[in-house]
Structure 1
Amino acid sequence: MNKERLVNSFLEMIKIYSPSKKEGEYAKYLVEELKKIGMEIYLDKGYEVYGGDAPTIIGKLKGNIEGEGVTLAAHMDVVEPCNNINYIVENGIIKTDGTTTLGGDDKGGIASIIESLKVIKENNISHEDIFVVFTPCEEAGMLGAKNVNWNLVPGNMKPAKDMIVVDNAGRAGIIAHTAPAKYGFTIKIKGKKAHAGIEPEKGINAILLAGKVISKLKVGRIDELTTSNLCKIESNFPSNVVSDSCIFEGEVRSHSEEKILSILNEYKESCEEVIKECGGEYSIDFECSYPTLKPIDDLKFAKKFAEIYEEMGIKSELKVIGGGSDSNIFAKEGYNSIIIGVGMYNVHTVDERLEIEDLYKTTEAIIKYISK
């Protein structure tokens, strides 16, 4: 690999402003890079559904070896603030001046993929078909991945089912293979208005009802594989009015969707108990944000990639994680994903950094895996 080119490629990428729904310029840059490598390109227009400006990019480098091939995936969008990035390179670390995010999540992953493809092409390394999938809007609810119209993707451009997603935080060697489903929920409490100073007895305070409900809910770490969180509560009335409406929102994650539905049912029962005791009304709505990610091959793919790290002298670690990614969405289409990192730390913050040595190691591991 050309280490200097890899780092410079990453630094060039982070200069391109590409927050969620505004990845258009970066997408054009990547399409040109893939064309230089000699890849066939297909652009999915799912962004038209959610108001973005960048397609999901699917690329294919035709192989000269028979086999199922492999897919390399990453996302193009970066968490704000990500404009006018002033980067600092020192002591083997790339970071910012503290006013913006860095964009290692996930431009570090994309830089690693691009360099891997260049090395394979330049050195005439024999390989099976190699596909890339670069998605927009991953950070805003995986909108790019969710809106790919697979029915329109030409048969010869359908990516290989084994997918290496280069989007994990932490060191090279960590291989995530399992991730939870997530459901978002909204609970609306309706009370009864009254004048708070003259006749509060005639009112039913919805904020008070919501507080009683919340006090009954299991929140935080529920068990080893299940969490819940409250993120928003809203009720806006003058102080002289007994509020008759309060809405709160949150999420439940678990590696068992049955467990999630059980927790949400308990939330419903808590609402019913409070309303029965105090009066008022309630409604609860929930929706699956993304399904579980689970290996479909008894970890064969993950263990095979772990062997590459071990051969390089890098300690591998197979992990179950608590976050979601495009991998969860692709799982619905039958893709078998592992999620690997390139040394990104403190992601989604202005303290984000990228460890250059980890970037090198993961890029080398990808090249070695493909060349095998």
Structure 2
Amino acid sequence: MINEQRLVDNFLALLAINSPSKNERALADFIIKQLNQLGLKIQEDNSATKIGGNTGNLLCFVPATNAGLSPLLFSAHLDTVKPTKGIKLQNQDGWLSTDGKTILGADDKAGIAVILEMLASVTERQLPHGGLEIVLTVAEETGLEGAKHLNREMLNAKVGFVLDSGDTVDSYVVQAPTEYDFYVALQGKSAHAGVEPEKGINAIHCAAKALANLPIGRVDEATTCNIGKIIGGETTNIVPELVELWGEVRSLQDTHAKRILKTVRLAFLQAANSMGAKLIFKEQLAYQGFDLADKRVLKELLAAAAQNVNLQVRPVTRGGGSDANVLNAYGICTTNLGLGIKAEHSVHEKISLADLISAANLVTSIVEVLPGLSKHLYSI
């Protein structure tokens, strides 16, 4: 169904290009050249100016060859969490990794490689389709920034597939959480820690009192809460006047997330009041969750595509967010497909080339099987 050697070669070429968040220019230029060679035109939006990056989202619209079929959207992100400059690849028994000094960047260059191979295969085999909408986003790792600045009006597809899940290749995400981010600042009062500590209000102590009453970690089956960053104090002989904290709450149930967020706010307010400190508490919706468990179109389309390449797919729930969250919020029924990446976001990241090939076969098969499915899918 696909050209396996071309897929692997392209993947290796993508990995060699450094593309940390908001510095995706070199990778974008490589991809533009690849797609131009297929006779496809690329559009780059103005999201770079909005997020302070050097590259915008790349969009490629492949015209329909069968107007009776529905268009499909495929998406991956260009950026990586850390630089991969000087990357040295290792291949051990079909598992691709690095020498341990950089991340691999398979998250999400594996997704890009799969989409590029699908486009090449569909073009070469002249597969009928109702139009393919390719969305390659920037700054996904810094808060889905590229996806949030997409022009929704440019997209016509009602069903989409993001290639960015660390789960196994036989999986597709049907449920993902809502995330709220919060910022806390506690303003105390400085004083000499050894001479007159009584005259001070210890902001760090105040934060500790609040933290001791928070449900940190896994709150319930659907919900998590985390404090990820704390900054405060100057030196040991000064009662610290200011402490700042950053955290998040995620839940598969939006009401649960809001309840825990309220608990967090109340804990800091009570601690501040008890010590006479001042509180600043800010919260922001990072992304909205989604639940696609009852979406027949995904179940039927993926089951047929998987059977076509001797796979069996299964729906899964993930605790992480992705561009699929944003696309679902735009009204596009979008799942996140597994790529089999292990230990992503770390120097131990690795991926099986066999999984990469399986993912490319599955994605190409999605396009191939659509014409043979029941007519109700064409009007989704």
Q: Within 2, Cα distance between the matches of 1:347 and 1:159?
A: 32
Mean Cα displacement is larger for which, 291-300 or 326-335? 291-300
1:341 matched to 2:338:
yes
1:256 matched to 2:239:
no
- Kindly state the Cα deviation for residue 242 of structure 1 after the two structures are TM-superposed: 1.8
Q: What aligned pairs does 1:312-323 form with structure 2 within 5 A after superposition?
A: 312-323=309-320
1:212 matched to 2:209:
yes
State the match for 2:3 in structure 1.
2
Mean Cα displacement is larger for which, 37-46 or 109-118? 37-46
Q: What aligned pairs does 1:145-294 form with structure 2 within 5 A after superposition?
A: 145-150=147-152, 153=154, 158-294=155-291
- Kindly state the Cα deviation for residue 170 of structure 1 after the two structures are TM-superposed: 3.1
State the match for 1:84 in structure 2.
86
Which amino acid is 2:180 matched to? Y
- Kindly state the Cα deviation for residue 257 of structure 1 after the two structures are TM-superposed: 2.4
Mean Cα displacement is larger for which, 193-202 or 282-291? 193-202
Which amino acid is 1:145 matched to? A
Q: Aligned pair count?
A: 367
State the match for 1:116 in structure 2.
118
Mean Cα displacement is larger for which, 95-104 or 307-316? 307-316
Mean Cα displacement is larger for which, 32-41 or 207-216? 32-41
Maintained 8 Å contact 2:18/2:83: no
Which amino acid is 1:231 matched to? G
Length-normalised TM-score, structure 2: 0.92
State the match for 2:37 in structure 1.
36
Maintained 8 Å contact 1:76/1:137: yes
Mean Cα displacement is larger for which, 50-59 or 186-195? 186-195
- Kindly state the Cα deviation for residue 52 of structure 1 after the two structures are TM-superposed: 0.8
Maintained 8 Å contact 2:57/2:135: yes
Q: Within 1, Cα distance between the matches of 2:283 and 2:121?
A: 47
1:342–1:200: structure 2 CA closer, same or farther, 3 Å change rule?
closer
Which amino acid is 1:320 matched to? T
- Kindly state the Cα deviation for residue 195 of structure 1 after the two structures are TM-superposed: 2.3
Which amino acid is 1:203 matched to? G
State the match for 2:103 in structure 1.
101
Mean Cα displacement is larger for which, 97-106 or 302-311? 302-311
Between the aligned residues of both structures, percent identity stands at: 31
Q: Within 2, Cα distance between the matches of 1:285 and 1:302?
A: 39
Mean Cα displacement is larger for which, 21-30 or 35-44? 35-44
- Kindly state the Cα deviation for residue 128 of structure 1 after the two structures are TM-superposed: 1.8
Q: Within 1, Cα distance between the matches of 2:299 and 2:185?
A: 43
- Kindly state the Cα deviation for residue 107 of structure 1 after the two structures are TM-superposed: 0.9
Q: Within 1, Cα distance between the matches of 2:87 and 2:190?
A: 50
Which amino acid is 1:40 matched to? K
Q: Within 2, Cα distance between the matches of 1:48 and 1:276?
A: 42
Mean Cα displacement is larger for which, 208-217 or 337-346? 337-346
Q: RMSD in angstroms over aligned alpha carbons?
A: 1.7
1:302–1:39: structure 2 CA closer, same or farther, 3 Å change rule?
farther
Which amino acid is 1:48 matched to? T
Maintained 8 Å contact 2:23/2:55: yes
Question: Partner of 2:96: helix, strand, or coil?
Answer: strand
In structure 1, stretches of 5+ residues that fail to align are none
In structure 2, stretches of 5+ residues that fail to align are 370-380
Length-normalised TM-score, structure 1: 0.94
- Kindly state the Cα deviation for residue 299 of structure 1 after the two structures are TM-superposed: 4.6
Question: Partner of 1:345: helix, strand, or coil?
Answer: coil
State the match for 1:17 in structure 2.
18
State the match for 2:58 in structure 1.
57
The superposition leaves residues 227-268 of structure 1 with CA deviations (integer Å, 9 ceiling, x where unpaired) of 001111111233232222222121100122222221121122
Mean Cα displacement is larger for which, 1-10 or 359-368? 359-368
Question: Partner of 2:339: helix, strand, or coil?
Answer: strand
Q: Within 2, Cα distance between the matches of 1:58 and 1:296?
A: 28
- Kindly state the Cα deviation for residue 275 of structure 1 after the two structures are TM-superposed: 3.1
- Kindly state the Cα deviation for residue 104 of structure 1 after the two structures are TM-superposed: 1.0
